[in-house]
Amino acid sequence: MNLEKVFFAFFIVLSLTLNFGFFIGELDNPNHHNVYELFAALTVSLIATIMKFGDRAHIGAVLLATSLVADLQLIAAVIVWGIFVYATDTGLTPMVMASIVSLSGGALLANIISVVILVTETVMFRR
């Protein structure tokens, strides 16, 4: 058992599940989307990205790319949240919520791709 692989798989899958938890619910209803979950998703996603730093294998590089995409989407969602709630007086209107959740939906897709690659790699190399 490779401890590095365990940690990485853990963070990738956790990032997917947290992201999914945040994403699920009515798109524009702020009550269905917990800010803590978004925070946790971003943190875990960042850690998953850093764990792939400096991986020279081809699959490692692709995983780094997909998790970087997830990071960017989540950071964009957080910035949208911050701007509309604090920098302007708009507040958490359904429209704002919808754009935040759809951004996290993009991150979810990237996370799914990461997990698919991870599973493929695991299946290919039966070690």
Partner 1 sequence: MHNIIYLSLQRMRAPLIAVVLAYAISILGLVLIPGIDDQGNPWRMDFFHAFYFVSFMGSTIGFGEIPYPFTDAQRLWTTIAMYTTVVAWLYAIGSLFALIQDRAFRNLVDYSGFTRSVRGIKEPFYLVCGLGDAGRLVVRELAVRGIRSVVIEQTENKLHALHLEDLPVYVPGLCADASASSSLIAAGLKSPYCAGTIAITDSDHINLTIAITSKLLSPQLQVICRAETHDSQANMASFGTDYIINPYDTFADRFAMMFQSPSMYLVYEWLTSIREAPLRDFVAPPKGRWVLCGFGRFGKAVQKSLSFEGIRTITIESDISGTQAPEGTIEGRGTEAITLYEADIDNAVGIIAGTDDDANNLSIIITALGLNKNLFTVARQNRSRNDAIFIAADIDLTMQPGTITGRRIVNLITTPLLNDFLRLARQQKEEWANILVSRVVGVLTDRPPESWTLVVGHSQTPAIIEAISKGHPISLGMLCTDPRDLGDHLPCVPLLLKRQYDDFLVPENDSVLQPGDQLLFCGLKGAETHMRWTAYDFNALNFICTGVDRPSGLLWRHLSEHRASE
Q: Which residues bind partner 1 (CB under 8 A)?
A: 35-36, 39, 43, 46-47, 50-51, 53-56, 78, 82, 85-86
CA distances 51 to 29, 35, 69, 92, Å, are 34, 25, 15, 34
93 or 120: CB nearest partner 1:
93
102-116 b/e (C-beta count within 10 Å ≥ 16 → b): ebbbbbbbbbebbbe
Q: Shortest gap between Cβ of 39 and partner 1 (angstroms)? A: 6
Q: Shortest gap between Cβ of 52 and partner 1 (angstroms)? A: 9
57 or 119: CB nearest partner 1:
57
